[in-house]
Amino acid sequence: MRKSMLTRLGAISMLLVALQANAVTINGTNYKQFTSGGSKCPNGDSVLVYNGAKYCKSYRANLSWTIPATRADGTALQSSELAGYEVYWTRSSDSAKGTIKVGNGESAVAAFEAYTPDTYYFAVSAIDSKGLKSTLSAVAQTALGN
């Protein structure tokens, strides 16, 4: 097993926004297009049909972090040496989890979208061009839709 030589990333900051490309806002509530079958949304609400498309309430967090400038041993780390990041998330109520891959080391942002209102936790790991991963950043949390 290879040991990571990347430094720990800075804290993740979050910003909640109201709109995304495949969404509509109806009476002040955000909805994302829902492509699964059935007439119920993941949160148990009925699917809303609007202009011939199905929608469910959605929640979005925009995540950002500081690009690491040094490796764990203190040597300089150029942004060109970063292959990307992995953003890990988990949900408090049922421990659902996943990973968002960010394939550009110079981009320190990712969007997270969920149909289920809950408290979500996020941490980031940087990956260098040789495939070495950093330790995880500090965990950040946000309540989406609560």
Strands of the sheet with 97-102, listed across from one edge: 97-102, 82-91, 118-128, 140-144
Which positions ≥6 away from 132 have C-beta within 8 Å? Answer: 2, 3, 4, 5, 6
| pLDDT higher than threshold 50 for residue 116 | yes
Q: Tens digits of per-residue pLDDT, 46-72?
A: 998 878 888 888 888 889 998 898 888
Take residue 61 and report the two structure tokens written for it: 């967090």
Predicted pLDDT of residue 17: 28
| pLDDT higher than threshold 70 for residue 107 | yes
Looking up tokens 């040496």 gives: 81
Fold of 60-144: Immunoglobulin-like (2.60.40)
Helix %, strand %, coil % for the chain, to 5? 0, 50, 50
pTM: 0.74
Instruction: Give the integer Cα–Cα distance in Å for 82 and 60.
Output: 26
Instruction: Give the integer Cα–Cα distance in Å for 112 and 122.
Output: 10
Q: In sequence order, what are the beta bridge partners of 18?
A: none
Predicted pLDDT of residue 26: 72
Listed by start position, the domains of the chain span 23-57, 60-144
How many H-runs (helices) and E-runs (strands) does the chain carry? 0, 11
